[in-house]
Amino acid sequence: MLNCLNIVIFLYEIFFEKSFHPSIMLKVDKKSIIQIAIPIMLGTFIQNIVMITDAILVNKLGTVAFDAANNAGLLYLVFFMLNKGLGDGTQIQIANEFGKNKPFAINRTLNHSFVIQMTLSIVFIGILFLLIPLFTQNFVANKPIGEAMETFLNYRMYGLIFAGIQVSIMSFFIGIGKTKIIIYASLFLAVLNIFLDFGLIFGRFGLPEMGLAGAALASTISEAATCLLLFYYLIKSKHLKGFEFTWVKQFESSRFKQLIKLSYPLMIGGFLSIAVWFVFFSMIEQGSAFNLEVSHVVRNLFFISFIPIFGFGATTRTYVSYFHGKKNPIQIKKSIKQMLILSVVFYLLFFHGAILYPHLLVRLISDNPLVIEKSAEILQLVFGSMLIFSVVAILYNSVSALGKTFHAMLIEIVSILIYLIFSYQVILVYQWDIFYIWTVEYIYFLVTGILSVIYLWHYYKKMNRYYYE
């Protein structure tokens, strides 16, 4: 009971702490935080527009193509999350070095991140090349969907190498609080991807008609072009004096080990979080094609809620890691407080349609009346779970930003195991209606949030002693 009371006091202190330290480079006020978070959110928003556009165009090819593209996209995302985990570790390390005012160390971290990203991407492509046929033939119940997934991934998997480099470059900009380039890069990717989608899926603008394969190739080409744009900006930017990119002349094993040690838990956690979602959809696929189609429609719209959540989650990593480098626990608590408030407010701004006009959102993707009705019901259901996540994401990312990525991974693993147990029971054992199946999202986010709060409370008890020894 006493521990519960102390945790409540800890949360109260986060929200109502009034102290402020003036000698900082990152300002902990809503305006400054929003200036960093908005470009990240707009970038995510633009990417969601691309994803929804892809879904709309692919849906015109039929249900098999739609389900195959979404399933294959999830499998691609599983591997991409390993790249993303390394990017998050890079961001945390760079923000920490930024707080310590070590620009040369930032440069070295970024360069080492590039080498690891490229190596990982090549390995992942090799794994996919070997395992795609085995997977689609043995783990996909619907054979036409499996064959279409194979076609899609044969073009899509090569995007990993460009996506990995993009992640490292964006992690650098987010880590030093210079995020405007993300808007321009995302706009470029969106315009090019949509243009290529129309051209390669339906054979317009003088391009070959490739159907589902065209959608995959469009995404891969767009990622490659955006990667080149970001890389050019990185080496030519006049606004990042002291952080200019230069090739590493001598790699340092200690820096590799440091970056890998910080990043591998985030890589594993991200991989597992998407892998378990892939398992979730695979279990649904064992039931009925209707349930799978409904769930994929929900998933595509679900990502709208990630726009503010990912934006403020990334900004949290920068601020908390920066002040961790500054050895300033007061500003860490103040940052968390501001992030929590802004994350909820912007979540309501972006995702209110899920509760107020869900049918309108669903009609953007599907024109099937039965799919529209059931998907709209589920959107209203998950509105509450994602509201919880808008809070949980800040707390969870705060754990990672303190450099405690291994503990963050343990939190993720425990949450996933509980999520999987419940999903298996309600989908395959009790065979609940698809509406009630989606209640498992509440379980996952609540467990993650509770464990994050408990960890932050315990850690904060030691924080002052750590910083002022």
Q: How confident is the model over 416-434, as pLDDT tens digits?
A: 999 999 999 999 898 888 9
Round the average pLDDT of the chain to a whole number and report it: 83
Q: What is the pLDDT of residue 20?
A: 35
Convert the pLDDT of each residue in 184-194 to its tens digit. Answer: 888 898 889 88
Kind and range of the H or E run holding 357: none
Q: What is the pLDDT of residue 7?
A: 52
More confident residue, 135 or 86: 86
Whether pLDDT at 380 is above 90: yes
Q: What is the pLDDT of residue 24?
A: 42
Burial 448-466 (b: 16+ CB within 10 A, else e): bbebbbbbbbeebeebeee
88 CA to centre of own chain: 10
Convert the pLDDT of each residue in 48-73 to its tens digit. Answer: 667 667 777 777 888 888 878 877 87
Q: What is the pLDDT of residue 453?
A: 93
The domain containing residue 382 runs over which residues? 2-18+25-468
Q: Which of 210, 187, 190, 186 is nearest to 199 (CA)?
A: 210
Q: What is the pLDDT of residue 465?
A: 56
Whether pLDDT at 449 is above 90: yes
Q: What is the pLDDT of residue 403?
A: 86
Q: What is the pLDDT of residue 240?
A: 57
CB 66 within 8 A of CB 55: yes
More confident residue, 14 or 229: 229
| Token code pair at residue 353 | 């349609």
Give the Å distances, CA to CA, from 279 to 140, 359, 416, 438.
11, 27, 11, 14
Whether pLDDT at 180 is above 70: yes
CA torsion, ordered 373, 375, 376, 380, to nearest 10 deg:
140
Please give the Cα distance from 186 to 198 (Å, whole number).
18
Going by pLDDT thresholds of 50, 70 and 90, the confidence category of residue 248 is: low
Q: What is the pLDDT of residue 249?
A: 56
Please give the Cα distance from 232 to 372 (Å, whole number).
44
Going by pLDDT thresholds of 50, 70 and 90, the confidence category of residue 216 is: confident
Q: What is the pLDDT of residue 278?
A: 77
Q: What is the pLDDT of residue 468?
A: 46
Looking at the 3D structure of the chain, how many domains does it have?
Answer: 1
Residues sharing a CB contact under 8 Å with residue 67, sequence separation 6 or more, in sequence order = 142, 145, 285, 289, 292, 293, 296
What mean pLDDT is predicted for residues 161-174?
89
Percentage of the residues of the chain whose pLDDT score is greater than 70? 88
Percentage of the residues of the chain whose pLDDT score is greater than 90? 25
What mean pLDDT is predicted for residues 322-351?
89
Neighbour count for residue 442 (Cβ, 10 Å): 17
Q: What is the pLDDT of residue 48?
A: 65
- Helices and strands (H, E) in the chain, number of each type: 18, 0
Which of 109-123, 230-244, 334-348 shows the lowest per-residue confidence on average (mean pLDDT)?
Answer: 230-244
Going by pLDDT thresholds of 50, 70 and 90, the confidence category of residue 221 is: very high
CB 109 within 8 A of CB 93: yes
Burial 265-289 (b: 16+ CB within 10 A, else e): bbbbbbbbbbbbbebbbbbbbebee
| Token code pair at residue 20 | 């402020």
